[in-house]
A and B are shown apart, each in its own frame.
Chain A
Amino acid sequence: MADTSTSILDRSRTIAGPGYNRWLVPPAALAIHLAIGQAYAFSVFNKPLGSLISGDPAKPDALDWTPTQIGITFSIAIVLLGLSAALFGKWLERVGPRKAMLASALCFGGGFLIGSLGVSLHNIFLLYFGYGFVGGIGLGIGYISPVSTLIKWFPDRKGVATGMAIMGFGGGAMIASPLSVALMTHFKASAPQGVAPTFITLGIIYFIFMQFGVWTIRVPASDWAPAGYVPNAEHSALVTAGNVSADNAIKTPQFWLLWVVLLTNVTAGIGLLETASPLIQDTFSDKAMGAGLGVTAAAAAGFVGLLSLFNLLGRFFWSSASDKLGRKTTYAIYFGLGILLYTLVPTLGHNLQLAFYVIAACVIVSMYGGGFATAPAFLSDLFGKYQVGAIHGRLLTAWSTAGVLGPLIVHQLHDHAKEQGLTGAAAYQNVFYTMAGLLVVGLLADLAITAVKEQYYEKGPVTVEAGGH
């Protein structure tokens, strides 16, 4: 019994037979990413979790959890995302996507169940352990689980394929946010704020939804290629003809340059996303625009929603465009256009040009999403398909770093500006100029990326589908 269940999960049992439609792979990947993308909607639980004792978010009890305590849960999850992606990448390449996806579903769904126990017992450490630690491992494994498989199925459209999957991570929050609110409303009568039963329900729903990915995913046979595909026909000098292992990849300057590229792009994007709601309300306040003409809290929530949409669209659009433009050029556009827009935004705010301000912010956020989605294809270009999932996992530590660094920079600069007595658009201008400066660093790192030297290539043939010799 145990042998049978193990073998069903083995990589060898997931090799696609003749006639398998490769367009089944992106929905399998999306099933995982749409689920784990819930993490970006965790803030919907902030107020309910902060009023489990008092029952009223406006009048928290002394025993209620503080916003800082609750915020740590998300931080743990994001840090664990990066760490587990880095640690389990090579394991994933060895065992294949099906076993990794199942592990992700167990951890992510299980994290919700443990977290619900923490909520029921009002034990914050159990919440940290469940949603943050166990769930965070599920996030990391799930995020990288379909990437190398997609690249192997779509060597001719790497950007399109990975863009579709990573778009799901952006879309997951859009599903989770209204779903969580509806569930909490439904369960409110049976439990404090309805949070614990909502966690249980979400854990079960996501586990089942992710099973679609687990059982649909297939890896291509080692000699498979799309009809008419000519390997290495790409014009870019950066596209490698060899294969580099994950252990060797981190010894190359290219890996660390790309790490800086991702770090700066994500940190800058977080700078905007972290402050989006107060930013637009402070910049276009009644005081600045005239009585009754300022941006309301509801309109600011609409602004945040609009940014989420562009984050989602950017993941697919820019990553797909990178198939034609080349990865290095695409990142150069992110940084070049980003520097221009980040420098321009404070002026647009100062001149109260709301429409242009919103357009600029949307373009910036689309490139933030695009930066995530273009990275796997860039890694595959530089290091080959051999252990691209594991290398991608290690690269995601840049995301975890940015997740800590971005908010820290934003809050420090904004608090300092307020201490100086600055208000409205002026209170944020140093945030934007600093982010523009970070993008200059990112641009220089991108421009410095050259082809990986042959000394790092694996010697002799490699079994790409097994991730080892």
Chain B
Amino acid sequence: MNPQAPNSNAADTSSGGSAVIAWLFVGLPLAWGVSQTFLKALALFK
């Protein structure tokens, strides 16, 4: 097995930044959907 190759700091920062953007791309719509559902769920406690 070949362990994950060590990266330069620049590459780490770049791929870390891409990962953050990628998570935001899917996380924001999901957060919106969850918030809408949560608001709907609040009706149960009124």
A interface, CB within 8 angstroms of B: 18-21, 23-24, 27-28, 30-31, 34, 168, 171-178, 209, 212, 216, 221, 223-229, 231, 295, 298-303, 305-306, 308-309, 312, 358
Contact = CB atoms under 8 A, between A and B. Distances in A.
Given A31-B25, A212-B25, A305-B37, 20 more contacts: A23-B23, A24-B22, A27-B26, A34-B26, A171-B30, A174-B33, A175-B29, A176-B33, A177-B33, A177-B36, A178-B36, A212-B22, A216-B22, A227-B3, A227-B4, A231-B1, A298-B43, A302-B42, A305-B41, A305-B43
Interface of B: 1-5, 7-8, 11-12, 15-16, 18-19, 22-23, 25-27, 29-30, 32-34, 36-38, 40-46
A302 B33 contact: no
Among A212, A295, A301, A305, chain B packs the most CB atoms within 10 A around the CB of: A305
A302 B41 contact: yes
Given A19-B11, A223-B1, A302-B43, A171 B23 contact: no
A226 B4 contact: yes
B44 A175 contact: no
Given A229-B3, A231-B1, A305 B40 contact: yes
A300 B11 CA distance: 51
B26 A168 contact: yes
B3 A225 contact: yes
Nearest to B17: A21
A175 B3 contact: no
A226 B15 CA distance: 16
20 contacts: A18-B7, A19-B11, A19-B15, A21-B18, A21-B19, A23-B22, A34-B29, A171-B30, A171-B34, A174-B33, A177-B37, A178-B33, A225-B3, A301-B43, A305-B37, A305-B40, A306-B41, A308-B37, A309-B34, A309-B38
A167 B4 CA distance: 27
A305 B38 contact: yes
A225 B42 CA distance: 45
A302 B36 contact: no
Contacts of A34: 26, 29-30
Contacts of B29: 34, 175, 209
A216 B24 CA distance: 14
A298 B44 CA distance: 7
A330 to B, nearest CB: 24
Q: Kindly list the 6 A-B residue pairs having the minimum CB-CB distance in the complex, ordered from nearest.
A: A174-B33, A302-B44, A302-B43, A175-B33, A21-B15, A305-B41
Contacts of B41: 302-303, 305-306, 309
B17 to A, nearest CB: 9
Contacts of B37: 174, 177, 305, 308-309
Nearest to B36: A178
Given A171-B30, A174-B36, A299-B46, A225 B2 contact: yes
Nearest to A213: B26
Contacts of B46: 299
Contacts of B26: 27, 30-31, 34, 168, 212
A176 B33 CA distance: 8
Given A168-B30, A175-B32, A224 B22 contact: no
A308 B26 CA distance: 18
Contacts of B1: 223-225, 229, 231
A299 B43 contact: yes
Contacts of B25: 27, 31, 212
B22 A299 contact: no
B15 A312 contact: no
Contacts of A358: 44
A62 B8 CA distance: 69
A455 B4 CA distance: 33
A301 B5 contact: no
Contact of A225 (B4, B23, B38): B4
A23 B32 CA distance: 22
